[in-house]
Chains A and B, each alone.
Chain A
Amino acid sequence: GESVGLHLPTLSVQEGDNSIINCAYSNSASDYFIWYKQESGKGPQFIIDIRSNMDKRQGQRVTVLLNKTVKHLSLQIAATQPGDSAVYFCADPYGANSKLTFGKGITLSVRP
């Protein structure tokens, strides 16, 4: 991964609404992407991943969409809860030893 970045630094949503977090990447050869969630003072936790042969992958309340044409992926969180408040990173492994390129992160804030 040459550059994996996030469009916006912060996102504020109402509890119960859906959240959409976007990410752009520059390396067209990237074939695998991961979303991580990092709560304050903790290490990042794996949320969901997607391979380049897929356009969409669903998990529990989360969906990742991949648009290879415009090199864009998004993380959708359904019915956002206060516990979803965290910094979210997209990352793609690169190189022979699966090093990860992380974006700066986007902070999701959930309003009660």
Chain B
Amino acid sequence: SQTIHQWPATLVQPVGSPLSLECTVEGTSNPNLYWYRQAAGRGLQLLFYSVGIGQISSEVPQNLSASRPQDRQFILSSKKLLLSDSGFYLCAWSGGVRGVSYNEQFFGPGTRLTVL
């Protein structure tokens, strides 16, 4: 079976501090990986996606960056956080498992980030 982990679960950071959120998946090989942000009471906004190690595509210009140093590891980073970076960050994976379509995405538990 496949599992996806995100940590930390919650994070409170001051403006201007760096950020590193980590996501790992198990039980799949060469999945697509995604980072989403969800503002309170809103839908999900796709930030980055990756189809392989070292391959990152950015969907929206922002203060964040992503990296994929290993096949099943996806990291979201920032050098200096802004107040507007607050939100619920979700990692998702798709594909890489026999019988599972790349169209179907599976989400992690999320990280609640508050920037003060």
Contact = CB atoms under 8 A, between A and B. Distances in A.
Interface of A: 32, 34, 36, 41-46, 49, 89, 93, 97-100, 102-105
B114 to A, nearest CB: 14
A35 B90 CA distance: 17
B111 to A, nearest CB: 10
The 6 tightest CB contacts between A and B, nearest first, are: A43-B107, A104-B43, A102-B43, A102-B44, A93-B103, A98-B102
Given A43-B90, A104-B43, 11 more contacts: A32-B103, A43-B110, A44-B90, A44-B107, A46-B105, A89-B43, A89-B44, A98-B32, A98-B94, A98-B103, A100-B34
A46 B94 CA distance: 12
5 contacts: A93-B103, A97-B51, A98-B94, A98-B95, A99-B46
A46 B4 CA distance: 14
Interface string B71-111: 00000000000000000001010110000001111111110
Nearest to B90: A43
A49 B109 contact: no
B17 interface: no
B51 A100 contact: no
A39 B63 CA distance: 28
Task: Determine which residue in A43, A89, A99 has the highest number of CB atoms from chain B within 10 A of its CB, and name it.
Answer: A43
Contacts of B94: 98
Contacts of A104: 42-43
B103 A34 contact: yes
A100 B59 CA distance: 11
Contacts of B108: 43
A34 B102 CA distance: 12
Task: Determine which residue in B34, B42, B90, B105 has the highest number of CB atoms from chain A within 10 A of its CB, and name it.
Answer: B105
